[in-house]
Amino acid sequence: MENDTLYPITTKELADKKAALAPKNLEAWRNFSKTVFEAGALDEKTKQLIAVAVAHVTQCPYCIRSHSKYAMRKGASKEEIMEAIWVAAEMRAGAAYAHATIAMDEMEKH
């Protein structure tokens, strides 16, 4: 089957195939993920908002969809999610500018 999209649709069949290739790793990953997103010093909503921001920085479309949905399920408003995305945008842009110091350092050598 030809797929004309950049990112394939996730299906149970694909998930099952991935799981079968490394079941112990997947089980460990699921346990790790479950533990990370449990309430602790940070509540679950805050953790999901962080995940939304990070998903935008890493540009993972699957993560963006998943964590946006979970953030709303944990009580985040659309405005909070958008604000988290803007924080991610600022951090990504800020990192690009901050790394200009590396280019400046190299340019100064020549």
Of 8 and 71, more confident:
71
| Residue 2: per-residue pLDDT | 57
Cβ-Cβ contacts under 8 Å for 18 (sequence gap 6 or more): 26
Q: Enter the pTM of the model.
A: 0.84
Query: In this predicted structure, what is the pLDDT of residue 82?
Result: 98
Domains and CATH numbers, the chain: 41-108 (1.20.1290.10)
